[in-house]
Amino acid sequence: MIPIKSITAIELDQKLKQQHKLVLLDVREPSEVNFCKIEGAMHIPMNLIPLYLDKIPDEIDIVIYCHHGVRSLNVANYLAENGFDTDYLYNLTGGIDAWALMVDKNMPRY
């Protein structure tokens, strides 16, 4: 297993407010995204990642998230194993649930 960097919801919020150039990659299922999402995120469900590798930018920070951070960590490892530079890969600790608890307290949780 390749070590993947993690980022907290607070750190991600700071980067977004500073307009840090990054890609938010939401790997949840469509029904989850319909319930709540972080605006501006690219949505590719986890099971479709292998089909869309060429759509994911490289050489830019990629913050991957799911509900609690488990699926997104698996996707980050998959990307690393398929040639993405781990210097640019981040897993959102606690996923969108942590985002709802710490950053967007009005976001619905599930």
What does each C-alpha distance from 99 to 6, 62, 67, 110 come to in angstroms?
Answer: 14, 16, 10, 12
Bridge partner residues of 62 (DSSP): 23, 89
Q: Please state, in angstroms and rounded to a whole number, the distance separating the CA atoms of residues 47 and 55.
A: 15
CB 86 within 8 A of CB 2: yes
36 is catalytic: no
DSSP state of 38: -
Counting every residue, how long is the chain?
110
Amino acid at 33: V
From the candidates 66, 76, 89, 92, give the one annotated as an active-site residue.
66
**Which residues are identified as catalytic?**
66
